[in-house]
Chains A and B, each alone.
Chain A
Amino acid sequence: MHRLHLISVFFEFFKIGAVTFGGGQAMLPILKRELVENLHWVSMNQFLYFVSVSQVTPGPIAVNMATFIGYEVDGIFGAITATTGVAMPSFLVITLIATGLKKLSSSAVYRGFIAGVKPVIVSLLIGAIYLIARGAFHTLAPFIMAGIAFAVFLKYKINAFLFLIAMGAIGLFLIK
């Protein structure tokens, strides 16, 4: 039973890793759908906590989220399994490219595929904003903070890490 469980952890994250184009944030709606709603491996509150911590700890967001959720499901082995699963598709694809199949990624069919995925990424990013706002913003203050933060981030190219820590500090005073 235990082994079966680890196998399903691996394939769940493998699946997610395979469709994660355009960075870790676009994967948030996918993770939420699969792991919070369908499988109930973590609660929505845990999920949002993982999102915020994943953004201010080292390493790719996808890897951090996989480690968090994998640990929640099955301890350290779950964490290792989930992390391996989420990285495996890129490992396989890049190894293929390194062995000389570079033509694959420049073929017309593949470029057509990516042209169709790009607008979906934009929608998924909007979905990520929606799920965070709906799940964690319970008063007006965080909405206003996010709006001002966006304007500031757009105008000044601040270090992303320091920016997030600063928003956390402001949150201590403004969020009820």
Chain B
Amino acid sequence: MLKKLLKLTGIFFYIGLFTLGGGYAMIPLMKQELVEKHKYFTDDEFYEMFAISQVTPGPIAVNMATFIGFREAGIIGSAFATTGVMLPSLIIIILISLFFQNITKNVFVHRFFVGILTGVVAEISYVIIDVWKKSQIDFFFYAVFVLSLIEIFLLKVNPIYVIIIGGALGIVFKSKEFAKNASSSSH
């Protein structure tokens, strides 16, 4: 049991350590480790888990770790796997905080980090296009989009409430459609 737990922790530690860039950049490495090498998932299961991660809160790597850990060794397994995947971030960021407190006071370091931020803006723009392409763009989508822009930029509503309002509108106006589609497509 302990061996199994440590193995889970080790695999997810490795995934946490070598997934630079976050988000979608993590997918190929995770697939290689979890499907091809250690066979925790079949191909289909992996993509199903990926799809579930898109609609549940939290980082996809944490979701994968929790799910596989649970299946392998119950709630203790998910605790070990999740700890494994977060440990590299925790250690590295704490070390950076310890040793590089005032690093940005240096003008060259500051320029370097602002340079990185220009790249981050480019990446976020890319993600926006990606989300837009993968969504069903209808009147409802536009309406909630415009409403949320007004809430965030003009009314300065706390973003947490903007998410909850969006979700509530979705339940009111879109659930019926999904229920209808589900019943008409099932046999």
Contacts A120-B144, A167-B118; A30 near B159 (Cβ below 8 A): yes
User: Is the pair A115, B152 in contact by a Cβ cutoff of 8 Å?
Assistant: no
Q: How far is the CA of A80 from the CA of B153 in the complex (A)?
A: 33
Chain B residues with Cβ below 8 Å from A114 are 55, 167, 170
Interface check B66, CB cutoff 8 A: yes
User: Is the pair A121, B131 in contact by a Cβ cutoff of 8 Å?
Assistant: yes
Indicate the member of A60, A130, A145, A165 with the most B CB atoms within 10 Å: A60
Min CB–CB distance B112 → chain A (angstroms): 4
Interface check B127, CB cutoff 8 A: yes
Total CB contacts across the A-B interface at under 8 A: 362
User: Is the pair B114, A142 in contact by a Cβ cutoff of 8 Å?
Assistant: yes
Q: How far is the CA of A105 from the CA of B51 in the complex (A)?
A: 10
Prevailing SS type, chain A contact patch: helix
Prevailing SS type, chain B contact patch: helix
- With an 8 Å Cβ cutoff, the count of chain B residues facing the other chain is 96
In the complex, which of the residues A90, A119, A171 contacts B166, with contact meaning CB atoms closer than 8 Å?
A119
User: Is the pair A95, B162 in contact by a Cβ cutoff of 8 Å?
Assistant: no
User: Is the pair A160, B123 in contact by a Cβ cutoff of 8 Å?
Assistant: yes
In the complex, which of the residues B21, B57, B67, B144 contacts A164, with contact meaning CB atoms closer than 8 Å?
B21
Q: How far is the CA of A72 from the CA of B140 in the complex (A)?
A: 41
Chain B residues with Cβ below 8 Å from A61 are 22-23, 59
Chain A residues with Cβ below 8 Å from B86 are 59-60, 63, 83, 87
Interface check B124, CB cutoff 8 A: yes
Chain B residues with Cβ below 8 Å from A125 are 124, 127-128, 131
Chain A residues with Cβ below 8 Å from B124 are 25, 125, 128-129
In the complex, which of the residues B20, B52, B126, B127 contacts A56, with contact meaning CB atoms closer than 8 Å?
B20
Chain B residues with Cβ below 8 Å from A171 are 111-116, 118
User: Is the pair B21, A123 in contact by a Cβ cutoff of 8 Å?
Assistant: no
Q: How far is the CA of A167 from the CA of B103 in the complex (A)?
A: 18
User: Is the pair B55, A116 in contact by a Cβ cutoff of 8 Å?
Assistant: no
Min CB–CB distance A173 → chain B (angstroms): 8
User: Is the pair B122, A150 in contact by a Cβ cutoff of 8 Å?
Assistant: yes
In the complex, which of the residues B97, B118, B170 contacts A71, with contact meaning CB atoms closer than 8 Å?
B97
Indicate the member of A102, A164, A170 with the most B CB atoms within 10 Å: A164
User: Is the pair A175, B111 in contact by a Cβ cutoff of 8 Å?
Assistant: yes
Closest CB pairs A-B (n = 4): A171-B115, A116-B170, A90-B58, A59-B89
Q: A33-B158, A63-B89, A125-B124 are in contact. List 16 more A-B contacts (CB 8 A).
A: A21-B56, A23-B60, A29-B152, A60-B19, A63-B90, A64-B93, A105-B52, A118-B141, A132-B121, A137-B117, A149-B118, A152-B122, A160-B123, A163-B123, A171-B114, A175-B114
Query: Which residues of B approach A to under 8 Å, CB–CB?
Result: 16-23, 25-26, 52, 54-63, 66-67, 70-71, 75, 78, 82, 85-86, 88-90, 92-94, 96-97, 103-104, 108, 111-129, 131-132, 135-136, 140-142, 144-145, 148-149, 151-153, 158-160, 162-179, 182
Query: Which residues of A approach B to under 8 Å, CB–CB?
Result: 15-25, 29-30, 33-34, 45, 48-49, 51-64, 67-68, 71-72, 76, 79-80, 83, 86-87, 89-91, 93-95, 97-99, 102, 105, 108-130, 132-133, 136-137, 142, 145-146, 149-150, 152-154, 159-161, 163-172, 174-176
